[in-house]
């Protein structure tokens, strides 16, 4: 990809009659190198800068994907609230494990055993109501309209953290 950018840049220089070999940069000489080895042509310097920029971008993307994997591990089950709230049957052991992982990440905010119970109770309420929006925000609105802060406090906090976290990661 960067070779195409380099070739396009060279074509533009030729079209505009810009000399491309006038400027040479010096890089630090390594032990054993001769002074002539340390000089870089404009092309070599551009290639070096582009490769350095691509390495920086790749490292940044790797970090972002690691963060996304962590978020999916922690919040993934809450993102799919439609399945969580409306599926005919859910794997109770899997739900307990996911709630425990979530509560481990936020020990001061959520109790895992209560979160499991609240999800199951909320499933029952949602299944008996018509027209409930089963998105994370819709479930949060349902909880607030149903009983404010007193009903499903752990599920409410978990959804609030989930919805706030996506904004934090985007920033």
23-78, pLDDT tens digit by residue? 555 566 667 665 554 566 777 777 888 888 889 999 988 888 888 788 778 888 88
Nearest to 79, CA basis, from 166, 171, 146? 166
For the question of whether the overall pTM of this predicted structure is more than 0.75, the answer is: no
More confident residue, 59 or 22: 59
Q: For the segment 96-137, what is each residue's pLDDT rounded down to a tens digit?
A: 999 999 999 999 999 999 999 999 999 999 888 888 898 999
- Between the alpha carbon of residue 144 and those of residues 87, 134, 149, the distances in Å are 22, 14, 7
Q: In angstroms, rounded to a whole number, what is the distance separating the alpha carbons of residues 149 and 74?
A: 23
Per-residue confidence band for 170, with pLDDT thresholds at 50, 70 and 90: low
- Between the alpha carbon of residue 5 and those of residues 45, 47, 50, 136, the distances in Å are 14, 10, 9, 43
Q: What is the pLDDT of residue 117?
A: 95
Non-local (6+) Cβ contacts of 165 within 8 A are 71, 75
Nearest to 106, CA basis, from 141, 78, 87? 78
More confident residue, 146 or 37: 146
Write the DSSP symbol of residue 171: -
Q: What is the pLDDT of residue 22?
A: 47
For residue 91, give the H/E element and its range.
Answer: none
Q: In angstroms, rounded to a whole number, what is the distance separating the alpha carbons of residues 133 and 22?
A: 65
Q: Is 158:110 a contact under the CB 8 Å cutoff?
A: yes
Nearest to 138, CA basis, from 63, 86, 61? 86
Sign of CA dihedral 148, 153, 155, 158: positive
């Amino acid at each position: 990809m960067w070779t195409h950018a380099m070739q396009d840049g060279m074509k533009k220089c030729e079209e505009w009659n810009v000399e491309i070999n006038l400027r040479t940069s010096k890089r630090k000489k390594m032990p054993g190198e001769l002074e002539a080895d340390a000089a870089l042509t404009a092309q070599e310097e551009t290639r070096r800068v582009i490769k350095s920029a691509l390495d920086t971008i790749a490292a940044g993307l790797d970090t972002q994907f690691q963060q996304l994997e962590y978020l999916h591990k922690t919040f993934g089950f809450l993102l799919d609230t439609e399945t969580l709230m409306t599926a005919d049957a859910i794997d109770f052991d899997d739900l307990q494990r996911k709630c425990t992982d979530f509560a481990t990440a936020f020990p001061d905010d959520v109790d895992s055993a209560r979160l499991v119970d609240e999800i199951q109770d909320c499933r029952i309420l949602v299944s008996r109501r018509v027209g409930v929006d089963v998105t994370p925000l819709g479930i949060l609105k349902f909880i607030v309209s149903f009983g404010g802060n007193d009903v499903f406090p752990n599920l409410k906090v978990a959804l609030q953290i989930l919805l706030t976290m996506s904004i934090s990661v985007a920033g």
